Structure 1
Amino acid sequence: MSLIDLLSWDAFGSGWFWSLVVLQWFWHGAQVLGVPADYLHCKDNAQLSMVINWRAKRRLRSAHRAPLLFVAGLSFLVSVVFILGFVYHIEFCAAVAILVVPEVIIFQLAYRTAQSICAKPLGLEACIKALKTLHLKIYATGAAAIFFAGLFGYGFEVLKP
Structure 2
Amino acid sequence: MQDWYQMAFELIDMRSFSNLWYWIALAVVWSTASHWVLGVPYDMVTRARRNGGQAEEDLHDLVRVNVNRLLYITETAGIWMLAIGCFFLTTLAILGFVYWIEFAQAVFLLALPMGLVFALSIHTARKIRAADGEGLYRKLHIHRFLTQLIGMISIFITAFWGMWQNMSLGVL
Q: TM-score, normalised by structure 1?
A: 0.88
2:23 alignment partner in structure 1? 18
Match of 1:127 in 2: 136
SS in 2 for 1:152: helix
Secondary structure of the corresponding residue to residue 66 of structure 1:
helix
Alignment coverage as a number of residue pairs: 156
> Which residue, 141, 150, 156 being the options, matches 1:141?
150
Greater C-alpha radius of gyration: 2
1:152 aligns with one of 161, 164, 168: 161
> Is residue 124 of structure 2 the alignment partner of residue 113 of structure 1?
yes
Q: How many angstroms apart in 2 are the aligned matches of 1:6 and 1:111?
A: 39
* Two-structure CA RMSD over aligned residues (Å): 1.9
User: In structure 2, what is the Cα distance between the partners aligned to 1:77 and 1:20?
Assistant: 19
CA distance in 2, matches of 1:23, 1:132: 20
Report if aligned partners of 1:7, 1:14 keep a CA contact under 8 Å in 2: no
Q: Which amino acid aligns with 2:136?
A: C
Cα distance in 2 for residues equivalent to 1:69 and 1:47: 32
Cα 1:28–1:6 shift into 2, 3 Å: farther
Instruction: Find the aligned partners of 2:142 and 2:79 in 1 and give their Cα distance.
Output: 29
Identity of aligned residues (%): 26
Q: Any idea what SS the aligned residue of 2:159 has? A: helix
- Between the aligned partners of 1:5 and 1:22, the Cα distance in structure 2 is 24
> How far does the alpha carbon of each residue in 1:80-99 deviate from its partner, in whole angstroms, 9 at most, with x for none?
20232234432111101011
| Per-residue deviation, residues 122-149 of structure 1 (Å, max 9, x unmatched) | 32xx111001100001101110111111
Among residues 87, 97, 102, which one is paired with 1:91 in the alignment?
Answer: 102
Moved more, 112-121 or 65-74: 65-74
State how far apart, in whole Å, the 1-side matches of 2:81 and 2:65 are. 25
User: Residues 31-42 of structure 1: matches in 2 within 5 Å?
Assistant: 31-41=36-46, 42=48
Shift of 1:71: 3.1
TM-superposed deviation, 1:67 = 6.0
* Counterpart residue type for residue 90 of structure 1: I
Amino acid at match of 1:129: R
Cα–Cα, structure 1 residues 70 and 30, in superposed 2: closer, same or farther, change >3 Å?
Answer: closer
Q: Aligned partners of 1:94 and 1:47: how far apart in 2?
A: 41
The aligned residue for residue 104 of structure 1 is 115
Unaligned stretches of 5+ in structure 1?
Answer: none
1:50 aligns with 61
Q: Which consecutive aligned stretches of 4+ in structure 1 deviate over 6 angstroms post-superposition?
A: none
